[in-house]
Amino acid sequence: MGFSKEEISKSRRFWSSLWRGIKTVFVLFTMFVSFLLVSAPIFLAVADALLPSALLHRLSAPANLSSHLTNYDFRHSLIDIPLISIVRSAVILCVYGLCDGPKLSRGPYLMITMICSVSSLIYVSLKAAFVFGEPANGDGGGSYFKAAEVALFLCSSVLAIGHIVVAYRTSCRERRKLLVFKIDIEAVSACKNVYPRYQKILQQERLK
């Protein structure tokens, strides 16, 4: 039993609409991913400022900043981990906002990001050796560490490495943009130099 022309037309319209919808979703998804990649330094800086503070708030009893600083002990206090993350993200975000294309490609942005991230990684690693070097006694007499403490140190370390990766990718992207821009300028300059010569040759040929 064959299909009527009306049914075939409806089927074609359905598949055409479905295909247009798929292409629209794909374009929107691509634009969203591109937006995330371009804005990655900003999103990462915001996450770096918020996540360690949220983990510390969950880990410790409710207390203000002054009490944490008053009772600060390098071997036991964890208030310095989110503070380092906030300072690190603020410095990197300010440098990113002040830099333009050439400075983002091979200027102070990548260098300052690497200095801040590596120095904070060294500090966090040194502090982790002190904090986790003295095991606490649990109910069974064995050593245990709170999962939130481990998550706090891991979060700060991963975000520091993430800053380096994002800064490197941003630097590579800006270098590619500058290279394409340089090629375009050279092509336009070459065309400007060649076009008058070509016009002169045409005029000479017409005079002959």
Which tens digit of pLDDT belongs to each residue from 45-79?
899 888 888 888 776 655 555 666 667 777 777 88
Cα radius of gyration (the chain): 29
Output the CA angle 82-87-93, nearest 5 degrees.
120
User: How much is the pLDDT for 58?
Assistant: 74
203 in a structural domain: yes
69 in a structural domain: no
184 in a structural domain: yes
157: burial class by Cβ within 10 Å (0-12, 13-18, 19+)? middle
160, 121 contact by CB (below 8 A):
yes
Q: Whole domain around residue 181: which residue ranges?
A: 36-56+77-133+143-207
The sign of the dihedral angle between the CA atoms of 84, 89, 94, 99 is positive
* Continuous segment of H or E residues that includes residue 137: strand 136-137
74, 84 contact by CB (below 8 A):
no
20 in a structural domain: no
pTM: 0.68
Pairwise CA distance, residues 54 & 128, whole Å:
19
Per-residue pLDDT of the chain (208 residues; tens, 9 = 90+): 455 666 666 677 777 787 888 888 888 888 877 777 777 888 888 998 888 888 887 766 555 556 666 677 777 778 888 889 999 999 999 988 888 767 777 778 889 999 999 999 999 999 888 887 765 544 443 344 577 788 888 999 999 999 999 988 888 888 887 777 665 545 445 455 544 554 554 455 555 5
7 in a structural domain: no
Pairwise CA distance, residues 52 & 169, whole Å:
24
Pairwise CA distance, residues 7 & 127, whole Å:
72
**Number of compact structural domains in the chain:** 1
- Please state at what angle helix 108-131 crosses helix 147-207, rounded to 10 degrees: 170
Pairwise CA distance, residues 54 & 159, whole Å:
14
Pairwise CA distance, residues 144 & 96, whole Å:
41
User: How much is the pLDDT for 88?
Assistant: 92
31 in a structural domain: no
116 in a structural domain: yes
User: How much is the pLDDT for 119?
Assistant: 94
66 in a structural domain: no
